[in-house]
Chain A
Amino acid sequence: MALLELTDVTRSVRLPDDRMLHVLRGVTLTVDAGEHVSVVGRSGTGKSTLLNILGLLDAPTTGSYVLDGIPIGRLSARARSRRRGEDFGFVFQQFNLLPGRTALENVAAPLMYARGRAFWRRMRLAEEMLGRVGLGDRVDTMPDKLSGGEQQRVAIARALVRRPRVILADEPTGALDVETGAEVMGLLDDIAAQTDAALIAITHDLSVAARAQRRYRLADGVLTPLVEAPVGHRTEWVGDVPTAVAP
């Protein structure tokens, strides 16, 4: 059984002039545990909407979303919040760290909403997770004293501290330079692989997308598999289309 399964999902919003904007059209996607999937697309093509639906932050207009065998549409808002906290870890482009809280407090924040031992041992777990992302010596540092790469690593630690089954990364390297971005993605890949979590990365950076086992392209709300570049070629954006380019 797939970990998550989107079938013919659409998402439409009514504009102020009463017209309907179809953000997603018939999206079908299946992700298994431990898989690394990337979705590329230009700005405004519905990438973030897809990610929000996957992370239970938004709901499809039509179509079905089954998470671990449970149709999401049948869950109450409270149950969706619980599952969101338990099953998903979010990594945002702008890190979204809580201001005025130390790195440790930021990483421990998701565990505030956990139960059992994870809740009671939250500070220790957060400290260990910071150690795993190489920030064991910066636990008491405020986010504004950290570099961009370090802030994203704190965000990754926060996303992983509850041991989610799915990591949703929205442009995780968007605010980082190329070198730091590659480093952060490497870390995310490693930890996702170690914890057997599915990693779904939404990006417009083709080099980031290239790290995934399965790659998709989202254009005008339609999700299609990305054509693999022939051996020895690299993929680059040509206009709105990722295209194989000879070196």
Chain B
Amino acid sequence: MSAPAGQRTRRPGLLPGTRTALGRAAGRLRRLPRSVRAAPGAVRGVPASVRAALSGDRFGPRDLLAEAAHGVGSRPGRLLLTIIGTVLGIGSLVVTLGLAQTAAGQIAQQFDAAASTRVVVEPSTSRGQGGERATGRIPWDVEDRLGRIAGVDQVGALGAVDIGGARVATVLVNDPSVTPTTPPAVVAATPGLLDALSGRVVTGRWFDAGHDARADRVVVLGARAATRLGIHRVDRQPAVLIDERPYTVIGIVDDVARRSDLLDAVVLPLGTARADFRVASLEQAHVRIAVGAGPVVGEQAPLALAPNAPETIQAQVPPPPSAVREGVQGDVNAIFLALAAVALLVGGLGIANVTLLSVRERMGEIGLRRALGATTRHIVQQFLAESAVIGLLGGLIGAALGVGVVVAVSVARAWTPILDTGLVVVCALLGLVTGLLAGAYPALRAARTEPIAALRGTPG
């Protein structure tokens, strides 16, 4: 029987021709006591590079991966059950992040269509002895001034009308038997206010620039104020008495969500209010703008209204769309990420549990490997690699399923799926990290088992 070539040789003659200089040097080195081997330059004829090469561990990542894949793949049924936890955890994480991003995109689009197209301009206020006091004034021609700014679609303004406690009623006779109630608020508005607020006329019409210019005695009622006054239709030209002066009701408005208090008010044209009630100033101007024009309008509106003292006017501009999206994303993500973290924790515990079980089952194998020369580090590496492979598999499958769910939901809801691909990769790698963390304790436990106890098949 011939000896295999290339094997380590200790006795000359057994394997002729296989004893190389490196082998001889290695043999000499190994047989010396450790203390001697450690001494620098102690071994003559054995270069430092050779010593370094010999001390290196050859059991590399590829071998480790191959061993781990074999260990994991030898029990496919168990592997399936083990990775389910990680698949669910990573899958729900990807679904959460994907749907949050997609939903935030949808919500942001709606925000863009509503909140992000509105600018409110008001006089600045300062706190004085008599409470808060306006330091600026919105000019009467506010619609003309703001209408010239690029990006402004519609402008309207309004101000409170002080009727000095006068009665607002629909009949001339003052019936003393009727319980006195607070009259509806009276508000002066410019013709463009309804469009600026995106309000809706239920019946009749809104007043126009002609009514305003002529100071016609007409009013428009808010829907709730109309109900209080018992007016439901305007085709018979009903009138409202304000301070005993009759004003023809030409319309009833509803759905002014941006100023819902107008539903309880009687609205006069600004010209009429100035003529009859000496309205001194406007309180607010509402501007409907194009998407993205907020910063420009916010900057130019004070200059347009008060060129000499722009600081006396303040404009509330909508947040940029990206800020809205991020805000919504942040809120949604916080909730669902917590759920995903719980799922991932459960998945990790599953891996830890199964790896621990595997360690117990394979105690004999651990003992055998120790007998074959495996160090504790080899054992730790092997079990860590196995749990990492399980985690990575779970992460990859979970991430793939998560992406599929996000796309499916988006298609079903006619949304545009939005998902950061980098995030998907990170999620898959998170499965690997989960596996590593989950496998740490079982791996250490396997390595700490005494070889003799492991060979007996007991945890020791």
Contact = CB atoms under 8 A, between A and B. Distances in A.
Contacts of B56: 115
Interface string B34-70: 1000000000000000000110111100010001001
B94 to A, nearest CB: 33
A84 B57 contact: no
A175 to B, nearest CB: 15
Contact of B372 (A85, A100, A101, A125): A85
B376 A81 contact: yes
Given A78-B376, A90-B371, A119 B14 contact: no
Nearest to B374: A113
Contacts of A125: 4, 6-7
B368 A96 contact: yes
A112 interface: yes
A96 B452 contact: no
Interface in A67-121: 68-70, 74-75, 77-79, 81-82, 84-86, 88, 90, 96, 98-101, 109-110, 112-121
Interface of B: 1, 3-11, 14, 22, 26, 30-31, 33-34, 53-54, 56-59, 63, 67, 70, 74, 364-365, 368-378, 450-452, 455
Given A81-B373, A116-B58, A162-B373, 4 more contacts: A79-B34, A109-B372, A112-B63, A112-B372
Most interface-central of A57, A68, A101, A194 (chain B CB within 10 A): A57
A196 B9 CA distance: 11
Interface residues of A, number: 50
A58 interface: yes
A82 B59 CA distance: 13
A101 B4 contact: no
Nearest to A85: B373
Q: Which of B22, B30, B365 has the most CB of A within 10 A?
A: B30
Contacts, number: 117
Contact of B8 (A84, A109, A162, A194): A162
11 contacts: A52-B452, A58-B451, A78-B377, A84-B373, A101-B70, A115-B56, A116-B58, A118-B8, A120-B58, A124-B6, A195-B3
A57 B451 contact: yes
B87 to A, nearest CB: 24
A71 to B, nearest CB: 9
B257 to A, nearest CB: 69
A211 interface: no
A145 interface: no
A158 B372 CA distance: 9
A82 B373 contact: yes
A99 B368 CA distance: 12
A194 B13 CA distance: 11
Interface string A179-217: 000000000001100111000000000000000000000
Contacts of A233: none
B30 A86 contact: yes
A163 interface: yes
B456 to A, nearest CB: 9
A100 B452 contact: no
A95 to B, nearest CB: 10
B19 to A, nearest CB: 12
A68 B27 CA distance: 13
B58 A57 contact: no
Contacts of A96: 364, 368, 455
A108 to B, nearest CB: 10
B47 to A, nearest CB: 15
Contacts of A116: 8, 22, 26, 53-54, 58
A109 B74 CA distance: 17
A17 to B, nearest CB: 19
Contacts of B70: 100-101
A148 to B, nearest CB: 18
A82 B376 CA distance: 11
Contacts of A114: 8, 58, 373
Contacts of B375: 77-78, 81-82, 113
A78 B1 CA distance: 35
A85 B369 CA distance: 9
A41 interface: no
Contacts of A120: 58
A124 B374 CA distance: 21
B4 A128 contact: yes
Contacts of A124: 4, 6
B27 to A, nearest CB: 11
Contacts of B365: 98
A86 B34 contact: no
Contact of B57 (A110, A115, A128): A115
A132 B57 CA distance: 28
Contacts of B455: 52, 57, 96
Interface string A108-149: 011011111111110011001100100000000000000000
Contacts of A100: 70, 74
A36 interface: no
A101 B9 CA distance: 28
A47 interface: no
A99 B71 CA distance: 10
A114 B373 CA distance: 8
Contacts of B14: 194-196
A58 B452 CA distance: 6
A69 B370 CA distance: 23
Given A57-B451, A75-B34, A112-B63, A118 B6 contact: yes
